[in-house]
Structure 1
Amino acid sequence: MAFSSLYLCFHKYKGGAWKSCDRQTSCRISTPGVTIGETQAPPRYLKDKKVVPEADPPSIEDVNRLYQFFDQSNKLVVLTGAGISTECGIPDYRSPNGAYSSGFKPITHQEFVRSSRARRRYWARSYAGWRQFTAAQPSAAHVALASLEKAGRIHFMITQNVDRLHHRAGSNPLELHGTVYSVICLDCGFSVSRNLFQDELKALNPKWAAAIESLDYGSPGSDKSFGMKQRPDGDIEIDEKFWEEDFHIPTCQKCNGILKPDVVFFGDNLPKERADKAIAIARQSDAFLVLGSSLMTMSAYRLVRAAHEAGAATAIVNIGTTRADDLVPLKLNARLGEIFGRSMQRIFPPAASALMRGYSFAANEVISRGQGREAHHIVKDQFNNQPKDLSPNPNTGGTLNHQIGQNVSRKDKIKFLVTTLIDLKDSKEAVYGALDAWVAWETSFPIGALKNVILALEKQHQWHRVVQVIKWMLSKGQGNTMGTYMQLIRALDMDHRAEEAHQFWVKKVSTDLHSVSWQLCRQMISVYYRNNMLKDLVKLFKELEAFDRKPPDKAIVQRVADAYEMLGLLEEKERVLEKYKDIMNKTEKVHKNPKQEASMKRKNKSG
């Protein structure tokens, strides 16, 4: 399991104002109306100690071995442990820098069930550490695995972790030890969201909650941070006099029973159904890969053992020894973010294609979420035509320092994506995955390049792809402009999806008609007219009239008049023609094409 614990330095509250406690001496919480004794803080909790264990960069041989393991598997199962989350700032237990190294002892199931005092201590610490625990972001390895899972390169994922970082990266693993994001009743089984439970704790303990919220989690140099360090299970060290007497925890709202995080504490057993499912998955695999786990818990060790006994290929990537070192033929000692970063261009080219923009695999970056398996082969064929330098770099101790597409022009990058999108089968997941991969390592969102991609797709009448690209952009919070809306509405219309264009107009545009450009309104009126959606057309025009929006040209007036006539509303037709007769009688200047004018002049001269 990946839990976390903090040792926090708190502010003392005296005379109605917070005062900073001495950084080296006072490390206890104090709230209004509560007097707490002070004790010396162990220096080890205040050190700027790295969470991620030290390890040499992966060698080319390690990268090749990991690639070959993936390449030779058809039904790969991956088991992840706390080691994958250390790069997110969540410590593990057993590494040299882990929680056990500083004397931390996690709560056991028996303690939690038998002792109300232990429960108060757990929930008080958990409440205090929750904000920082939930602020952790998925690592490069998390997102790489999500990419591989979506592409079908990983058959199934199992995790020992309870932090939900895999879910946030886009995976859907079996959570072997449960999750701290859910709270359950030990008596009736009722469950509630951990975030809602956090709000209940806050309501029951307002003074203490105010003290916690005053802390500055994100700034080590702040006078409110005091060198706080996280541990694996979302709790902190607090003077027992405080949580023993003054911290209140809610009971089950249905039966008044004991509430517990939906995790398997030390000393507890996995639910039988979950354990049986995990064993069955391991036995059905043809390859079983362990990432970031020492396998010291039997629940994890027996999975790799079951896979090995069933004849599956087995491998481990972990810093330090594991319980299965003598069982597994392939063991790599490396940080997961580094080895996946350097292997992805071979394991999964769609994600690695993002590196065409010149980023190094040595960087600890986030690899994009994946696409469909069909995209894997298409992009791989094109990617393999790109120049690569797989030779070791002597300046990095012989490790792979591979950069792709350093000299690839912007035009070629756009062409690469357009070709990839066109060749994909009609799958939203595949298109979104390819786009995620393409922009994965940009320092800023490449809106300009994507606009060119859309224009290229329009030229080839790839209207369905244009719709998918624009919707993907909007889902990322990008491209929310009237110009983008015009492109989307046009593409939907050309893709014979006028009703969908109408729905988009109603939800996204019609609420701001007083400022929507006439160019966009004209386009929507044309869509309604071409698709015989005449009631929607006249409704839109009436709404524009309500804002005193005068149509800019006679073509709009004529279409509205025609729509009224086809609907049998002749009086409305006459009203519109009368109201805008100045526009209808206005002679529009004909704009000649400059090339045509030049051609006419040449003909006149020759004549």
Structure 2
Amino acid sequence: MLRTQMFFPISSYQVNWQKPIRHIVKCSNNQRSRQLVKLNGVDGKIAKAPSKTDHHLWNKRDSAASGQKALNLVRIVCGLPNEKEAVYGALDKWTAWESEFPVIAVAKALNILKQRKQWKRVIQVAKWMFGKGQGMTMGTFDTLLLAFDMDQRVNEAQSFWNMILHTHERSISRRLFSRMISMYAHHNMPENIIEVFADMEELGVKPDEDTVRKVVRAFKNVGETEKQQAVLNKYLSEWKYIHFKGERVRVRRRYSWNDD
């Protein structure tokens, strides 16, 4: 009896055995992923990376709440008579139930009062805050100096500026120097402009272009033309560099040296 021999094509042989191999690999991958899930999570849930907020030691202040407090403060002070005792008493009452001093709310209130040009109220609120030992920043100093200037209280501005020089000598910003020079220029006080400029030079603070023009004009007003030219040569040359379309370009200043 002849035995029937069965021949399988090579292609069918490969197909029949490739499927189990892929299945085994797939199962092993699934098994590995299940192990990772067990290692990284609890009860089959993948553990999430800790968010950045989990590392904060203090809770963030609610910015919306500080905005409402600021508006409430503005309404309170604007409805008061222009008396120091009345204003300070109302402000103390406003913070009576606060667990910590609301610095952010007061800063926002000062900005609102500044936008509304309520200079007397700006001065009152800022002085009250400083009296509490709070908010002594360069930004608040700048706001108060501007309020002194607009309210024609130059003597108070000078006293406050001297305090800043003695207590924050090495950390005074260029903006604050420019504020004082602008105030003295506004009230036609060239000698004081030159004095503030000398402090800038001593502390190594480079003035901006607008400040340089005020200083040059001050030297011209006092008749010191040589120093006027020296300041121009040092800080305000005929050419300047600007960035145009990603490139540094040399251009001529629109400022004429004979304007001052």
Q: TM-score range by the shorter chain?
A: 0.5 to 0.7
Match of 1:487 in 2: 143
2:191 is the alignment partner of 1:530: no
Q: Given that residues 66 and 104 in structure 2 are in contact (C-alpha distance below 8 angstroms), is that contact kept between their aligned partners in structure 1?
A: no
Match of 1:580 in 2: 235
Q: Given that residues 174 and 206 in structure 2 are in contact (C-alpha distance below 8 angstroms), is that contact kept between their aligned partners in structure 1?
A: no
Measured after TM superposition, the shift of residue 580 of structure 1 is 2.3
2:200 is the alignment partner of 1:544: yes
Match of 1:448 in 2: 104
- Residue 560 of structure 1 is aligned with which of 215, 220, 223? 215
Letter in 2 for 1:554: E
SS at 2:171 equivalent:
coil
Q: Given that residues 467 and 488 in structure 1 are in contact (C-alpha distance below 8 angstroms), is that contact kept between their aligned partners in structure 2?
A: yes
Identity %: 40
Structure 2 Cα separation of the partners of residues 511 and 543 of structure 1: 14
Measured after TM superposition, the shift of residue 538 of structure 1 is 0.3
- Structure 1, 493-502 or 459-468: larger mean CA deviation: 493-502
* Structure 1 residues 569 and 477: CA distance shift in structure 2, 3 A: same
Q: Given that residues 148 and 157 in structure 2 are in contact (C-alpha distance below 8 angstroms), is that contact kept between their aligned partners in structure 1?
A: yes
1:128-139 pair list within 5 angstroms: none
SS at 2:133 equivalent:
coil
SS at 2:191 equivalent:
helix
Measured after TM superposition, the shift of residue 479 of structure 1 is 0.6
Structure 1 Cα separation of the partners of residues 167 and 133 of structure 2: 19
Structure 2 Cα separation of the partners of residues 410 and 511 of structure 1: 29
Q: Deviations over 1:487-542 (max 9, x none)?
A: 11011111121221121101223554432111111111111111112111101111
Measured after TM superposition, the shift of residue 459 of structure 1 is 2.1
Match of 2:224 in 1: 569
- Give the ranges of 4+ consecutive aligned residues of structure 1 lying more than 6 Å apart after TM superposition: none
* Structure 1 residues 569 and 543: CA distance shift in structure 2, 3 A: same
Q: Deviations over 1:161-211 (max 9, x none)?
A: xxxxxxxxxxxxxxxxxxxxxxxxxxxxxxxxxxxxxxxxxxxxxxxxxxx
Structure 2 Cα separation of the partners of residues 501 and 432 of structure 1: 21
Measured after TM superposition, the shift of residue 477 of structure 1 is 0.4
Q: Given that residues 514 and 549 in structure 1 are in contact (C-alpha distance below 8 angstroms), is that contact kept between their aligned partners in structure 2?
A: no
- Residue 496 of structure 1 is aligned with which of 148, 152, 156? 152
Structure 1 Cα separation of the partners of residues 104 and 83 of structure 2: 24
Structure 2 Cα separation of the partners of residues 527 and 589 of structure 1: 31
Q: Given that residues 417 and 453 in structure 1 are in contact (C-alpha distance below 8 angstroms), is that contact kept between their aligned partners in structure 2?
A: yes
Letter in 2 for 1:517: S
Structure 2 Cα separation of the partners of residues 414 and 581 of structure 1: 42
Measured after TM superposition, the shift of residue 564 of structure 1 is 0.5
Measured after TM superposition, the shift of residue 581 of structure 1 is 4.0
1:222-237 pair list within 5 angstroms: none
* Structure 1 residues 563 and 422: CA distance shift in structure 2, 3 A: same
1:71-470 pair list within 5 angstroms: 410-470=66-126
Match of 2:258 in 1: none
Gapped runs of 5+ residues in structure 1?
1-407, 591-607
Structure 1 Cα separation of the partners of residues 76 and 161 of structure 2: 30
Q: Given that residues 181 and 193 in structure 2 are in contact (C-alpha distance below 8 angstroms), is that contact kept between their aligned partners in structure 1?
A: yes
SS at 2:170 equivalent:
coil
Measured after TM superposition, the shift of residue 455 of structure 1 is 1.4
* Structure 1 residues 410 and 513: CA distance shift in structure 2, 3 A: closer
* Structure 1 residues 412 and 517: CA distance shift in structure 2, 3 A: closer
Structure 2 Cα separation of the partners of residues 559 and 413 of structure 1: 40
* Number of aligned positions between the proteins: 181
Measured after TM superposition, the shift of residue 585 of structure 1 is 2.6
Structure 2 Cα separation of the partners of residues 484 and 585 of structure 1: 35
Letter in 1 for 2:227: E
SS at 1:435 equivalent:
helix
Measured after TM superposition, the shift of residue 587 of structure 1 is 4.5
* Structure 1 residues 589 and 511: CA distance shift in structure 2, 3 A: farther
SS at 1:417 equivalent:
helix
Match of 2:32 in 1: none
Letter in 1 for 2:76: T
Considering fraction of residues, name the structure with more helix.
Answer: 2
2:131 is the alignment partner of 1:475: yes
* Structure 1 residues 588 and 422: CA distance shift in structure 2, 3 A: farther
Gapped runs of 5+ residues in structure 2?
1-63, 245-260
User: What TM-score do you get using the length of structure 1 for normalisation?
Assistant: 0.28
Structure 2 Cα separation of the partners of residues 466 and 567 of structure 1: 34
* Structure 1 residues 416 and 550: CA distance shift in structure 2, 3 A: closer
Measured after TM superposition, the shift of residue 469 of structure 1 is 0.3
Higher RCO, 1 vs 2 (CA within 8 Å, ≥6 residues apart): 1
Letter in 2 for 1:575: A
Question: Of the two, which has the highest radius of gyration?
Answer: 2
Letter in 1 for 2:109: V
SS at 1:444 equivalent:
coil
* Structure 1 residues 460 and 490: CA distance shift in structure 2, 3 A: same
